[in-house]
Structure 1
Amino acid sequence: MAQIDTLAETILEKLRMVSQAETVIGKPIQAGAVTVIPVSRVSMGFGLGGKKEAVAASGGGLSVNPVAFVVISGEDVRIMPIAKENDIVSKVADLVPDVLSAFKKKEA
């Protein structure tokens, strides 16, 4: 197999590992009776160039951006989208009252 083919297969395998479903749908975070699941957008790309089966240049990139949270509280399931990257802090802050409420209900 040519060197460029081997490199391309290696890069694709590494990108496949990074972009698994666990990257897009994050690990659930449990806070009392409330479960918060982060959802992200994964974008990637790469390119190879060569001459006579030898790699002359290669490059690539990967981007993971949070886009929403799935909030589960009992039978209530809500999707809280994130409009911009800067809004992530405000979205997390919006969840705080729900999480505190869940803890208070649990204590009662």
Structure 2
Amino acid sequence: MEHPIHSFMKISMENIKEMVDVDTIVGQAVDTKDGTTIIPISKVRFGFASGGTEQKTDKNQDSQQGPFGGGSGGTVSITPIAFLVVANNGEIKVLSLENQTHIYEKLIDFIPELLSKLRLVNPKNFNGQRKTKTEE
């Protein structure tokens, strides 16, 4: 026979799993009139607790398990942290909602500028074709 605490945990975990899927973290894309696509990005946090106790019974009773009391609970926190903005010209930007701008966001924003500057310095190497050993 399964212990009653297992059913508490199973029900709680199934309900939390149903609430959160990939669309919760990377939201549904929203298209604007000018052709820009905006995708919300969220941070998801989980908390879960479960517990129980068994009471002692009289020794004269045939039952091996005493009365059980228990409970479980969970929490989910969903916080929007950024928007991924894809302009109609293909330009991609990350708009952070947090006070701190992460280094990864800065790098992503800097890559197109870096590639443009490298093409200006040496356009021969940035025409989309790879050099062979004989060309070097």
* Coordinate RMSD, CA, aligned: 1.7
- The structure that has the greater radius of gyration is 2
Which structure 2 segments of 5+ residues have no match? 55-64, 100-136
Q: Is the 8 A contact 2:80 2:97 kept in 1?
A: yes
Aligned-partner Cα distance in 2 for 1:78–1:17: 31
Higher normalized helix content (fraction of residues): 1
Query: Taking structure 1 as the reference length, what is the TM-score of the superposition?
Result: 0.69
CA distance in 1, matches of 2:69, 2:84: 43
Amino acid at match of 2:9: A
Alignment of 1:1-108 (within 5 A): 1-32=2-33, 33-52=35-54, 54-74=68-88, 75-83=90-98
List structure 1 segments (4+ residues) > 6 angstroms apart after TM superposition: none
Structure 1 segments unaligned to the other structure (5+ residues):
85-108
Counterpart-to-counterpart distance in 1, 2:37 and 2:72: 42
Q: By percentage of residues, which structure has more strand?
A: 1
Confirm or deny: 8 A CA contact 1:48 1:55 kept in the other structure. no
What's the TM-score once normalised by structure 2's chain length?
A: 0.56
Identity %: 25
Q: Is the 8 A contact 1:69 1:81 kept in 2?
A: yes
**Aligned mates of 1:60, 1:44 — CA distance in 2:** 7
Aligned residues: 84
